[in-house]
Amino acid sequence: MNTLVAVAIAPLGVGDELAAEVAEVVRVIRASGLPNRTNSMFTEIEGEWDEVFQVVKDATFALAEKGIRTEVVLKADVRPGHTGMMERKVSKVDDILGGGGHAE
């Protein structure tokens, strides 16, 4: 079942600058081979349910296994029969904003 998640995995109690720990998390996600995109607050991952949630677990445990308290914020969109939603959702909005018509 195709699943698109927006996930934020962050360490708690390790100081004000979290870039190094976040980079560890993103490295695991990118190594998964699943389509993904990182922005300033979340990383989106798309794929089959079990694959996506395995990547979320692996990325979370990259910090937790080091004894770092880890917070996970996750939003999921499960849409049977659809793939490529990470790009298509944005494209539909861009088309509307650019005068390309109405989204279905």
Percent of the chain topping pLDDT 70: 94
Band of residue 101 on the pLDDT scale cut at 50, 70, 90: low
CB 2 within 8 A of CB 41: no
- Give the residue from 86, 82, 70, 88 showing the smallest Cα distance to 28: 70
In order of start, what are the domains of the chain with their CATH numbers?
2-97 (3.30.70.930)
pLDDT tens across 32-66, in order?
999 999 999 999 999 999 999 999 999 999 999 99
Give the pLDDT score at 81: 92
Give the pLDDT score at 15: 75
Round to whole Å and give the CA distance between 65 and 10: 13
